[in-house]
A and B are shown apart, each in its own frame.
Chain A
């Protein structure tokens, strides 16, 4: 087997192991939440019998380890369980499958994340490479200062500034990103422009600065000096001699920021009233809807693991020592 394939499979295995460990952590932290779901839903007036019956229906009377095994076994088969809210004890059984609740929200979140990533990643790479090329110039300083400003400003503030500038004073984009399943694609793109722009401003600095630093770090290498002494032009030194060796650290930072786009955008969702998965999870925590919370947490963990796995793989395949062994 090619050593790269072996390494990738090994990372994949480690990723699955990590996900398993994370599932234990998710389950036990929810166990540690104070209070009881039954009492929280039925109120203090409920009799002990009612609460006990309700707990039994939800399976909460089982010991923790058994509930954990049931949950993991179900998840492994693709069943995320049934939501706690809307159960029969509180009237008619209007409870829904967790997957039904999460799927549309996750789709929205991934749409927004992809949107922001498509703008921010090329932009960050372009700014990072050009800043490295013209380092210490006015351009470099301006780019650095501008991106630092946007990353240092809280994201809700960036969001309100953008609303003020692009929705109130100059009504170009809508200030609310309310979309439904039926919104056509172009309409979606238009309505979610402001949240995507906000997220771009928030994450571009980190990626741009890492790109710049990774390239500049390599500019001190003997092979870069050699390239210069071979009469290679300035831009070719950066693009052909430095960049191919800088992908590993750049990919790591991009993966980190993309993961943030999926799991960390609840504030932006709230500001723009965007129906994403972040809001769903926060709501589920308040209503003690444990299956939903667990499913969201697991999806977030998987996002981190998958994106980091991809970054690792990029690091491996851009390393000629691993790709072309002796």
Chain B
């Protein structure tokens, strides 16, 4: 079936990539650290290897090393990387350049950033195919249209003539797959290609990528931190941690009985689930709110009730109006119509008209803990400021309260003098939680607070939030696009789509059939840990047609 491959004839099942005892150093904090510590990796023609691990596990670095490439600030210090008989560690830049884009291709995480804004998509798609002399311009362009078609891009004849900013993120990711495929490489490195996409888009991209890799019998390394995604794509899975291999096994075996405790802990995260607890004691009520950014109306008649001491999860894709709702509640964006009431009294729509007490009772935690903190302030100053501002604490009293708050978020006194740059992602988010708690709020709005974190760290943060809710009876409005997080933390769910509330109710009701159409699409798009999930879904869809 591999008729279009012009490379020397070799059969499926031959070894294409063999990495032995690879060591890679990275430069940070003014010295070299070992970030990949002697990893072996083998890949046969037509085989897909899933590479998973938390951020910092060295999976991207290892994936790029499979191309013989090290990012600036990294260097391959030992081992051998044999690609079809060529040692990429010893190969010159020119030799590697001849392989890149022709026999080994790369698909990057953020398609929006990986496309050159100045050139049309098709030019970029066929660039390496033409540069390497694999095909002439006309043939390559024609082939690109065919690839666009088989990746199910809308309007395949025309879409190549658009600029990157003119198409959506999911489409760009598929065009990038077409770009990688253009020269019919033997090996593709997929570096977290769907991480930046919404779930409903992700399913389409996953399908398209899997089909095309199947069709041309391309070997692939699929890097991700999402287990359910890798289960759909890979023949075998390798788990990395701290730059070392934890274990490797065929996908089914790995999912059914992982051997290492670390792998099992990765698997366990998704099973966190809070029993639902319904209450009618409404503390915050959003009533018939319409809101707009300049002329563009983004919220249409949104009504949400938040009960005291409970969690309402607001779910939806990017652009559905979740964060705008939070901006209306906090007074950052005065609504066009409707009102927000707190304990029965309407809140002034503008932030500057609200009293200090009203401000104090509603606090926020953001997605990017990095940018939500002043990098020049110590933890003590960051947490201490709301204590002084709202509660008038100072000196010893303030210090004592900061220590108490640190204990609440399971950190200790030693963190007081640290700067945000000296904390891990999970610790930063904990400090943001402590800062919100310092004001002694009754409501905390959590805007995608776990989206930027690894799964294990996510679990820690979610457990912490649940414990704090139980102890302090705080209400959470929890904005997220991740259904697993919703299962873990919510009592009630609000589904938003294009600025409207589609469905709203207790968790069990929303997550059980019958669903409105969109909720069904959203739920059915969330990958499951079953390797057959994507195939089954495709069959179901075809049957429905």
Q: Are A324 and B116 in contact (CB under 8 A)?
A: no
- Residues of chain A within 8 A (CB-CB) of B110 are 222
Other-chain contact of A320, B64, B71, B118, B127 (Cβ < 8 Å): B118
- In the assembled complex, the Cα of A228 lies from the Cα of B165 at a distance in Å of 21
- Name A233's closest neighbour in chain B (CB-CB): B97
Q: Which of B106, B113, B179 contacts A221 (CB 8 A)?
A: B113
B104-117: contact bitstring with A at CB < 8 Å (1 yes, 0 no)?
01101010011111
| Proximity bits, B145-165, A CB within 8 Å = 1, else 0 | 000000000000000001101
Contact with B along A225-251 (1 / 0, CB 8 A): 111111111001000110011000000
| Distance between B89 CB and nearest chain A CB, rounded to angstroms | 17
Known interface pairs A231-B97, A326-B165; A245-B117 also in contact (CB < 8 Å): yes
10 contacts between A and B (CB under 8 A): A223-B114, A225-B71, A228-B69, A229-B67, A229-B69, A231-B132, A233-B131, A245-B117, A321-B163, A324-B163
Q: Which residue of B lies closest to A246 (CB)?
A: B118
CB pair A232–B116 under 8 Å, yes or no, is no
Contacts of B128 in A (CB 8 A): 230-232
Inter-subunit contact A324/B166 (CB<8 Å) = yes
Q: Is the CB of B102 within 8 A of A231?
A: yes
Decide if B97 touches A226 in the complex (CB within 8 Å). no
CB atoms of B114 and A222 under 8 A apart: yes
Are the C-beta atoms of A222 and B108 separated by less than 8 Å? yes
What residues on B are CB-neighbors of A222 within 8 Å? 108, 110, 113-114
CA distance A222 to B106 in the complex (A): 12
Say whether A228 contacts B100, CB under 8 Å: yes
Whether A320 touches B115, Cβ cut-off 8 Å, given contacts A231-B100, A231-B132, A232-B131, is: no
Asked if B166 and A230 make an inter-chain contact with CB atoms under 8 angstroms apart, the answer reads no
Sort A-B residue pairs by CB-CB distance and give the 10 closest, nearest first: A231-B101, A231-B100, A230-B101, A244-B118, A222-B113, A230-B128, A229-B106, A226-B114, A223-B116, A231-B97
In the complex, per-residue mask of A285-326: 1 if CB is within 8 Å of any chain B CB, else 0: 000000000000000000000000000000000101100101
Rounded to whole angstroms, the CA-CA distance of A232 and B64 in the bound complex is: 16
Question: What residues on A are CB-neighbors of B163 within 8 Å?
Answer: 320-321, 324
Q: How far is the CA of A236 from the CA of B102 in the complex (A)?
A: 17
* Chain B residues numbered 86-139 whose CB sits less than 8 Å from any CB in chain A: 97-102, 105-106, 108, 110, 113-119, 127-128, 131-132
Chain A, interface size category, equals 20 to 34
Q: Mark B56-100, 1 if CB is under 8 A from A, else 0.
A: 000000001001010110000000000000000000000001111
Nearest residue, chain B, Cβ from A320: B163
Nearest CB on B from A219, distance (A):
9
> How many angstroms between the C-alpha atoms of A324 and B166 in the bound complex?
8
State whether A231 and B113 are in contact (beta carbons under 8 Å apart), knowing that A320-B165, A326-B165 are contacts in the complex: no
- Selected from B98, B102, B115, the residue in CB contact (under 8 A) with A226 is B115
Which residue of A229, A244, A320, A321 is within 8 Å of B101 (Cβ)? A229
By the criterion CB–CB under 8 Å, are B102 and A241 in contact? no
Question: How far is A233 from B127 in the complex, measured between Cα atoms in Å?
Answer: 11
Give chain B nearest CB distance to A237 CB in angstroms.
Answer: 10
Whether A320 pairs with B131 at a CB distance below 8 angstroms is no
* Cβ-closest chain A residue relative to B110: A222
Q: Say yes or no: B166 contacts A245, CB within 8 Å.
A: no
Q: A228-B100, A229-B101 are in contact. List 17 more A-B contacts (CB 8 A).
A: A221-B113, A222-B110, A223-B113, A225-B71, A225-B108, A226-B115, A229-B100, A230-B105, A231-B97, A231-B100, A231-B102, A231-B131, A233-B131, A241-B116, A244-B118, A320-B118, A326-B165
In the bound complex, what is the Cα–Cα distance between A117 and B203 (angstroms)?
56
The smallest beta-carbon distance between B163 and chain A, in angstroms, is 5
Q: Which of A223, A228, A245, A318 has the most CB of B within 10 A?
A: A223
In the bound complex, what is the Cα–Cα distance between A232 and B101 (angstroms)? 8
Q: A245-B118, A326-B166 are in contact. Are A230 and B113 (CB under 8 A)?
A: no
Output the residue of A229, A245, A318, A321 with the most chain B CB within 10 A. A229
What are the residues of chain A within 8 A of B116 when measuring CB–CB?
223, 226-227, 241, 244-245
Provide the bound-state CA to CA distance between A227 and B128, in Å: 9
Which of B71, B118, B127, B132 has most A Cβ within 10 Å?
B118
Residues of B within 8 A of A227 (CB): 116, 127
A318 and B64 CA atoms in complex are apart in Å by 32
What residue in chain B is nearest A218 (Cβ atoms)?
A: B116
In the complex, the chain B residue whose C-beta lies closest to that of A220 is B72
Contacts of A228 in B (CB 8 A): 69, 100
* CA–CA, A46 and B100, complex, Å: 88
Query: Whole-angstrom distance from the CB of B420 to the nearest CB of chain A?
Result: 23
Residue on B with the closest CB to A318?
Answer: B118
Chain A residues contacting B106 (CB-CB under 8 Å) are 226, 229-230
In the bound assembly, the distance between CA atoms of A90 and B119 in angstroms comes to: 68
Q: How far is the CA of A52 from the CA of B114 in the complex (A)?
A: 74
Please state if B115 and A223 are interface contacts (CB–CB under 8 Å): yes
Residues of A within 8 A of B64 (CB): 229
**Which residues on the A side are within 8 Å of B99 (C-beta)?**
231
The distance in angstroms between the C-alpha atoms of A59 and B64, with both chains bound, is 78
Q: Which residue of B lies closest to A236 (CB)?
A: B131
Asked if B100 contacts A321 (CB within 8 A), the reply is: no
CA distance A222 to B101 in the complex (A): 16
On chain B, the residues within 8 Å of A324 by CB distance are: 162-163, 165-166
Tell me, in angstroms, the Cα distance from A241 to B119 when the chains sit together: 8
Chain A 190-203 interface 0/1 with B at a Cβ cutoff of 8 Å (1 = within): 00000000000000
What is the distance, in angstroms, from A228's C-beta to the closest C-beta of chain B? 7
Q: Which residues of A contact B71 (CB under 8 A)?
A: 225
Per-residue A-contact encoding for B386-401, CB less than 8 Å = 1, 0 else: 0000000000000000
Q: Which residues of A contact B98 (CB under 8 A)?
A: 231
CA distance A221 to B72 in the complex (A): 12
Cβ–Cβ < 8 Å partners of A326 in chain B: 165-166
Q: How far is the CB of A303 from chain B (nearest CB, A)?
A: 30
Do A232 and B127 contact each other (CB < 8 Å), given the known contacts A222-B108, A320-B118? yes
List of A residues within 8 angstroms of B131 by Cβ: 230-233, 236
In the complex formed, the residue of B with least CB distance to A221 is B113
Q: How far apart sit A244 and B115, CA to CA, in the bound complex (Å)?
A: 13
Chain B residues, CB < 8 A from A220:
72
Once bound together, how far apart are the Cα atoms of A220 and B113, in whole Å?
11
Q: Closest chain A residue to B167 by CB distance?
A: A326
| Complex alpha-carbon distance, A233 and B96, angstroms | 11
Given contact pairs A226-B108, A232-B127, A321 touches B115 in the complex (Cβ within 8 A): no
Q: Which residue of A lies closest to B113 (CB)?
A: A222
- Residue in chain B with minimal CB distance to A227: B116
Q: Smallest Cβ distance from B133 to chain A, in angstroms?
A: 11
Contacts of B127 in A (CB 8 A): 227, 230, 232
- CA A221 – CA B334 in complex, angstroms? 37
A221 to B114, CA, bound (A): 8
